[in-house]
Structure 1
Amino acid sequence: MQTDIAVTGKNAQKQDREYLMSTLIGVRVYLGQKKIGRLSDMMIIETGKLPEVKNLIITRPFGDPALLVPWDRVKTLEPGRCEIDLAELKKYETAPPEDAILLFDHILNKKVLDMEDAEVEIVYDIHLINRNGRLYVTEVDTSRSARLRRLGLGFLSGILYPQEDPKDTGVISWMYIQPLPPQISSFRGDVKLNILKDKLADIHPVDLADILEELDHDQRVMVFASLEHEQASDTLEEIEPQVQRDIISSLTTEQVGRLLNDMTPGQAADILSVLPSSEAHEILEALNKDNAKKIQAIIGKQEEKVIHYTTQKILKFLPETTVGYIENDYPRHARGKDVIMYIYVAEKDDTLLGVIDLKELLQADDQALLKDIMIENVISLSTESTLKEASQVFARYDFRALPVIDDKNHLAGVIPYRDVMNLTHHFVE
């Protein structure tokens, strides 16, 4: 990319001119042969897919008011020099509107969510292009090279990162991101750039948890509040304890209760265990009574029975069910379930007959009956099994979930792997 070519505002050539904002901020601004200040920022407006630069902000020495100069009054803009054409300066001594978006003040050094790989990045530079005399923002640059440029050490890029993957440029098209609505500011706490809200639902809860962990408090609250209820619940499970506390502190007791009621008792207990006991008790009061009893038993370590960790949100079908019935509408069957990688085959009275791995289901004939492809010798836990016993079974067989049965072989529930092996509050030696 050419970054050191002169870019003209009024008399642009037909050829597109590209450059980096880092090479322009701070350049001297001239009115004729007289230096009047330095370029400190650019004001943009949304014009379709790409924002357009409408004004340059020029700071002046000796306490003189800053200038808001329209782009069509810029004669030349290049890395070493900016030349403007104004009849009188006083007319342009005005501040940007309150709802203006400023590239340097509002965008540079701010966090952005990458739509493609859902990673939090920092905007270190901005790519612009002069096309037919109009100046557009095309991309934000989150690369390591851009970071060096911001530090004035761009010459080290080729030395420090000589083998940098050319596909991993860290450049994100502006079409994938959008500034937040008016009232944005340069102060910490505002989310300056974000992916479109309808794209948040495409991000896996684990990736979204990573994103939230990188944001500051106000940013987390803003992004978390925009999530659908089910996704918010799933994401909260994946977040590290310190950030869980931070997010929960921003929610009402009723909101937290609704989120925890959608989790398995083990997951909910894992979250409540990181809170002060007074807060945890208040939230427990807002939960479903049966859930609260199980969660309280886990947190208080009064018992270590796996029955307190079980979930009923599983895929359970009668033995005469066909494979096609499940496959053809799997998304609906799996919606809202905690365990979706196994199909449990049971009689109407919940007597467990067998289990089918999802992979085996997908490989079976559509007309096959579940009773004909299920594994009858089911590895299971009893309602009296302890967490220690469960952890040993998980470690031995490497299952992702285990059914829990009573003394009559009735399916009492299923316990997910993570609710035993990944919890921090139980005692498993």
Structure 2
Amino acid sequence: MRVNDLRLAILSTGVYLLGADIGFEGLLRRLGVAKPLKHLLKPLGVNIPSRFLLWDEVEAIDFFRHGIKLSKFYSKLDTLHPSDLADILEDLDRTTQLAVFSSLEAEKAADVLEELEPEAQLNVIENLTVEEAAFMLEKMPTDEVADILVELDDEQASAILSSMNQDASEEVRELMDYPEKSVGSLMTTDFISFHEDMTIRGVIGELRRLKPDPECMYDLYVVDHQDRLIAFLSLRDLVLAEPETKLDEIMNRDIIYVSDDEEIENLNEIISKYNLLGVPVVDHRMTLIGMVHINDVVHNLLKARRRR
């Protein structure tokens, strides 16, 4: 966005900045042709468009090197979508990048960290204390955490893992042990499964309690009492069924899945062939151990293309 001019108000108490002119009229004024052009267009009833951005709608970002003092830092940035905010951070220098990130609330910061490019992720993590990094990473999906930590040196990654919640740390360690091109390296251990003898009422009650992320609800997976994957259930089936119906009465046993030690290329073919949004991942005993979201597959393909 180009700022063509600033609008000031001169009052008895001082000079105040009202806003920025970002319209076509302001550009013509800077070029010195606004007045004569307006004079020519006036008989024709044509107005030159103008656009004015109030100063209340402006958020300063890099103020460290210019002596700008703000009473409230980055308040408006926190309202942006994490992807948009990540794009902004990636265009900043490393010092300002860290300053803006540190000003965000914890939940928003975790979402933004997940969206950042690897170089920016490492800059942020390497400049946090071990405790701060562990706290932040615990709020992220385990597969994303594994992708970040594998890029750090072994000593720093180990220190962060030791400071994380034990369950989360163990899950991340398991993911980091998978070969890079295996399905296991791409899967997340954040998924939802239900036993086949549960009722629809029980499943809905559990979903309300867990409040899972949307990505975990492409399909609901059904397991037996040894946690072996046996079927899946769509949200449509769940909504339309009677509350006391058991899952084994309506679940679909014709389920597509992949093994954790398969090549990622096999996973890509399966998702493309069956138009899936998510695929469950099992081990050699058919135990459900994770799932892969389609957005992770796409992200992996784009990353591989950038490396070429």
Look up the equivalent residue of 1:211 and give its one-letter code. Answer: I
Write the deviation string for residues 25-55 of structure 1: whole angstroms up to 9, x where unpaired: xxxxxxxxxxxxxxxxxxxxxxxxxxxxxxx
Report the 3-state secondary structure (helix = DSSP H, G, I; strand = E; otherwise coil) of the residue aligned with 2:276: coil
In the alignment, structure 1 residue 286 sits paired with structure 2 residue 163: no
Q: How far apart are the structure 1 equivalents of 2:176 and 2:208?
A: 30
Q: How far apart are the structure 2 equivalents of 1:421 and 1:207?
A: 19
- Residues 242-391 of structure 1 correspond to what in structure 2 (within 5 A)? 242-272=119-149, 275=151, 279=153, 281-287=155-161, 288-298=169-179, 301=180, 304-319=181-196, 320-322=198-200, 326=204, 330=208, 332-334=210-212, 339-358=216-235, 360=236, 364=240, 367=243, 369=245, 371=247, 374-391=251-268
Using the TM superposition, give the Cα deviation of residue 329 of structure 1 relative to its aligned residue in structure 2, in angstroms. Answer: 6.3
TM-score calculated relative to the size of structure 2: 0.68
Higher strand share: 1
Aligned to 1:86: none
Higher helix share: 2
Contact 2:171 2:189 in 1 (8 A): no
Select which of 291, 294, 308 maps to 1:417: 294
Look up the equivalent residue of 2:240 and give its one-letter code. Answer: A
In the alignment, structure 1 residue 221 sits paired with structure 2 residue 89: no
Using the TM superposition, give the Cα deviation of residue 186 of structure 1 relative to its aligned residue in structure 2, in angstroms. Answer: 6.3
Using the TM superposition, give the Cα deviation of residue 134 of structure 1 relative to its aligned residue in structure 2, in angstroms. Answer: 9.2
Report the 3-state secondary structure (helix = DSSP H, G, I; strand = E; otherwise coil) of the residue aligned with 2:218: strand
Report the 3-state secondary structure (helix = DSSP H, G, I; strand = E; otherwise coil) of the residue aligned with 1:392: helix
Select which of 71, 75, 89 maps to 1:196: 75
**5+ unaligned residues in a row in structure 1: which ranges?**
1-120, 159-167
Report the 3-state secondary structure (helix = DSSP H, G, I; strand = E; otherwise coil) of the residue aligned with 1:345: strand
Write the deviation string for residues 275-298 of structure 1: whole angstroms up to 9, x where unpaired: 4x6x35522442125523532544
Look up the equivalent residue of 2:173 and give its one-letter code. Answer: A
Using the TM superposition, give the Cα deviation of residue 241 of structure 1 relative to its aligned residue in structure 2, in angstroms. Answer: 2.7
Q: 1:207 to 1:178 in 2, by over 3 A?
A: closer
Look up the equivalent residue of 2:94 and give its one-letter code. Answer: H
Q: 1:290 to 1:351 in 2, by over 3 A?
A: closer
Using the TM superposition, give the Cα deviation of residue 353 of structure 1 relative to its aligned residue in structure 2, in angstroms. Answer: 3.7
Q: 1:232 to 1:331 in 2, by over 3 A?
A: farther
- Residues 397-408 of structure 1 correspond to what in structure 2 (within 5 A)? 397-408=274-285
Aligned to 1:4: none
Write the deviation string for residues 170-211 of structure 1: whole angstroms up to 9, x where unpaired: 64444445679xxx66618988986526x72x5332222122
Using the TM superposition, give the Cα deviation of residue 137 of structure 1 relative to its aligned residue in structure 2, in angstroms. Answer: 4.8
- Residues 80-159 of structure 1 correspond to what in structure 2 (within 5 A)? 124-128=4-8, 137-141=17-21, 143=22, 145=24, 148=27, 152-153=30-31, 155=33
Contact 2:24 2:51 in 1 (8 A): no
Q: How far apart are the structure 1 equivalents of 2:73 and 2:188?
A: 35
Q: 1:170 to 1:266 in 2, by over 3 A?
A: farther
**Between the two proteins, what is the percent identity of the paired residues?**
25
TM-score calculated relative to the size of structure 1: 0.51
